[in-house]
Amino acid sequence: MFGAFASMVTIALGPALQPSFPILSYLRFDPAEIIDMVALLLFGPIAGTLTATVHFIILSFAPGGTGPFGASLKYLAVLSTFVGVILVSRLGKLSFRRAGASMTISGLLVRVALTTLANYLYLIFLAKFLFGQDYAFFAQLTLSKAGINLTGSEFVTFILGLTAVFNAAHAVLTMVLSLFITGALLKRAPQWLEARAWFTNYIARKSD
């Protein structure tokens, strides 16, 4: 259900209501990632991964979706953020604020590392090989519209650097809003959620 809702949000909002990243305008901040993350925080890694997977499948093939190319990169970004969050859960119980800050930083670092590697592979050959998309040409065309003309290693470094900044910003935005929503739900229904929410397993029972 969460995955279908996330897909509906992505498709319904459309590019017009998804803020684009400066210069690389094809990179957009998608609020639907918040739904994926809330599913992880409330119901755990299996439910979160299932939500992200349904989101990916619907975006790949539904009318109005991003298609497999864009959906695959979004899927990797979400899952890599999940990995960072889950790694912090191994540290034991922390206060809500410390857990949230640690998960945000870890999610950001893992997301940037894995998506940078993936974007490099996509730029070099994977996008054309797997999806028939000339990612490098499209990226160069986008840069040229902004008055930036680069080739070779300078082009690759510039694209990867800007995309890494975008992914870092998206990770922070997603985590902060997801934690805010989770915290609000915990306050509204503390008995029900604290007994069942995955995130609360790693929150110390004391005041921040």
CB-count exposure of residue 106 (10 Å: 0-12, 13-18, 19+):
buried
* 95-120 per-position pLDDT tens digit: 889 999 999 999 999 999 999 999 99
Report the CATH number at residue 170. Answer: 1.10.1760.20
Q: Does residue 207 form part of some domain?
A: no
Neighbours of 122 (CB within 10 A): 24
Q: Which residue has the tokens 């470094």?
A: 157
Number of domains making up the chain: 1
d(C-alpha 75, C-alpha 205), whole Å = 34
Q: Does residue 25 form part of some domain?
A: no
pTM exceeding the 0.75 threshold for the entire prediction: yes
Q: Does residue 70 form part of some domain?
A: yes
Q: Does residue 135 form part of some domain?
A: yes
Q: Does residue 79 form part of some domain?
A: yes
Q: What is the DSSP letter of 41?
A: H
CB-count exposure of residue 201 (10 Å: 0-12, 13-18, 19+):
exposed
Residue from 185, 106, 117 nearest 156 by CA: 117
Q: Does residue 139 form part of some domain?
A: yes
The neighbouring-strand residues paired with 203 are 94
* 142-182 per-position pLDDT tens digit: 999 999 999 999 999 999 999 999 999 999 999 999 999 99
**Domain coverage including residue 128:** 2-13+31-202
Q: Does residue 56 form part of some domain?
A: yes
Q: Does residue 208 form part of some domain?
A: no
